[in-house]
């Protein structure tokens, strides 16, 4: 800071206005702090602008297209169903605009100072907010870093008109006839499935032995079964992407499987091999905030960094890059910054992938529980035995509960099937509240509903199932 230069002062400075940053700012303001938030891009971050929200809008549009084509098994059919993808994109953007506009409204409503610019740490307690024509110092008592992450670009697949990140894939002007997806993780499989539902031919190239790492094979198997039924999705596992040749009209992607080189022509290639934290070039060394070789900021159980007045949340700290994880950490960090006794507890943070069908997990998985030597009971109820699932013509899938054998305490749950993203919330709440299988079984669930499966699986855990044979 230049000698004699006057610095603006604030109690809490938040860097980044994504699902971590804006939530931290609001919670800080609710706790009586003077809050300033800095955002260099779009408010709402990756999630609202080019991630969670637009991808789910596109996924929904794809489902609606498939539904419009009819259900032969129900005796419903229709002809000449078409897609105006320009209107699909316009509708998707209208959803994004409503939510991002809402974020600004919430910040203003909580009397938070909003700054559009780039933040750079000048010292342990000062940030410069840089715009095109100014550089203003801000002195803070506490700061929360919530700068998010960026798609990883690999050298042999440089971003271009035809080589896309998830951001580019969400903004295509037309439905591709053929799409190659490099990476079978949750982003690749969600977007690949979305376009497959628009009748795009999709080829997935995954380096690991299975898609959707982090989910159990019995769950991913159901996704693969449904993709096979679609007839327009091919999955190559244990495959190494080698490179791409681009023309004006398309791409040729080369990859290797079991030592044999293959190539496939397509309109576009989508590269989804992970994300990197946005922790470079913001002056963390000036603030004495330590980062790992991968750019991850280490934090304690209050989200505090090596600088006791600076906190970090979201994709830039250890753990999966989930928007709801960032929002949870935001509240903990803001409360800790305000002097409250708030501490992290990740035991009931869910993970959801919006494939077809959806997958969801919370708490312990069966393999993890066994790895840690826990004595557990595994209780699995099939969608095919649920009346609502059959009436929806969605019989594929299951709900699985992991309970502690000694007392029936629920410690984990997994769902593969339609509505998994909504149903997992009840089981996360049950884990958070310390509920047992008996507590869930004694909770009256509406009939017919998908939610009944929680009650049914809990009764299996107790050894007294009603709708499956013991």
pLDDT of residue 132: 87
357-461 carries CATH number 3.30.360.10: no
Question: Average model confidence (pLDDT) for the chain?
Answer: 96
The domain at 8-150+276-337 falls in which architecture?
3-Layer(bba) Sandwich (3.50)
pTM, to two decimals: 0.96
- Residue 1 — pLDDT band, cuts 50, 70, 90? low
Residues 89-104: tens digit of each pLDDT: 999 999 999 999 999 9
Q: Which of 71, 324, 447, 467 is catalytic?
A: 447
Position of tokens 């095109």?
132
- Residue 447 annotated as catalytic: yes
What would the CATH number be for the domain defined by 163-273? Answer: 3.50.50.60
Q: Show Cβ contacts of residue 11 under 8 Å, excluding neighbours closer than 6 positions.
A: 28, 33, 34, 35, 140, 141, 142
Q: Same CATH topology for 8-150+276-337 and 357-461?
A: no
Residue 401's contacts (CB-CB under 8 Å, 6 or more residues apart) are: 378, 379, 380, 410, 412, 413, 427, 437, 440, 454, 457, 458, 460, 461
Integer Cα distance of 181 and 121 in angstroms? 38
User: pLDDT tens digit string along 119-175?
Assistant: 999 999 999 999 988 999 999 999 999 999 999 999 999 999 999 999 999 999 999
Reply yes or no on whether the pLDDT at 3 is more than 50. no
**Domain definitions of the chain by residue range:** 8-150+276-337, 163-273, 357-461
Q: Is 51 exposed, middle or buried (0-12, 13-18, 19+ CB in 10 A)?
A: buried
- Report how far residue 14's alpha carbon sits from residue 102's, in angstroms, rounded to the nearest whole number: 18
Q: Is the CB of residue 34 less than 8 Å from the CB of residue 86?
A: no
Asked if 417 and 355 touch (Cβ cutoff 8 Å), the reply is no
């Amino acid at each position: 800071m230049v000698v004699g230069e006057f610095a603006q002062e604030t109690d809490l400075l938040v860097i980044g206005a994504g699902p971590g940053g804006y939530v931290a700012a609001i919670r800080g303001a609710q706790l009586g702090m003077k809050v300033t938030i800095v955002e260099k891009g779009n408010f709402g971050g990756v999630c609202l602008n080019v991630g969670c929200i637009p991808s789910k809008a596109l996924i929904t549009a794809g489902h609606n297209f498939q539904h419009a084509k009819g259900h032969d098994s129900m005796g419903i059919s229709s002809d000449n169903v078409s897609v105006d993808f320009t209107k699909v994109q316009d509708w998707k953007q209208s959803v994004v605009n409503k939510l991002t506009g809402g974020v600004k409204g919430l910040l203003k409503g909580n009397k938070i100072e909003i700054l559009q610019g780039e933040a750079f740490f000048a010292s342990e307690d000062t940030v410069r907010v840089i715009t095109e024509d100014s550089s203003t110092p801000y002195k803070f008592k506490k700061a929360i870093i919530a700068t998010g992450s960026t798609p990883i670009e690999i050298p042999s697949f440089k971003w271009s008109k035809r080589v896309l990140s998830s951001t580019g894939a969400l903004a295509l002007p037309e439905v591709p006839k053929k799409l190659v997806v490099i990476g079978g993780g949750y982003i690749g499989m969600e977007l690949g499935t979305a376009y497959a539902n628009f009748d795009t031919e999709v080829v997935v190239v995954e380096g690991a032995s299975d898609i959707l790492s982090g989910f159990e094979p019995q769950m991913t198997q159901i996704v693969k079964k449904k993709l096979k039924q679609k007839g327009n999705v091919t999955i190559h596992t244990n495959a190494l992407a080698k490179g791409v040749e681009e023309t004006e009209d398309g791409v040729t992607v080369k990859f290797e499987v079991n030592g044999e080189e293959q190539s496939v022509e397509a309109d576009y290639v989508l590269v989804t091999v992970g994300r990197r934290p946005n922790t470079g070039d913001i002056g963390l060394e000036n603030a004495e905030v330590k980062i790992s070789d991968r750019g991850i900021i280490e934090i304690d159980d209050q989200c505090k960094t090596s600088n006791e007045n600076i906190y970090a949340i979201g994709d830039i700290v250890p753990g999966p890059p989930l928007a709801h994880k960032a929002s949870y950490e935001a509240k903990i960090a803001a409360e800790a910054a305000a002097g409250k006794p708030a501490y992290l507890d990740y035991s009931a943070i869910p993970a959801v992938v919006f494939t077809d069908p959806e997958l969801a997990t919370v708490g312990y998985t069966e393999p993890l529980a066994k790895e840690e030597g826990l004595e557990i009971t595994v209780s699995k109820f099939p969608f095919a035995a649920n009346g609502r699932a059959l009436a929806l013509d969605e019989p594929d899938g299951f709900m699985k509960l992991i309970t502690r054998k000694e007392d029936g305490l629920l410690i984990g749950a997994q769902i593969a099937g339609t509505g998994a993203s909504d149903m997992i919330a009840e089981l996360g709440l049950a884990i958070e509240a310390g509920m047992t299988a008996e507590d869930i079984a004694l909770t009256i669930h509406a009939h017919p509903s998908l939610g009944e499966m929680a009650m049914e699986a809990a009764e299996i855990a107790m050894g007294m199932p009603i709708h499956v044979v013991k």
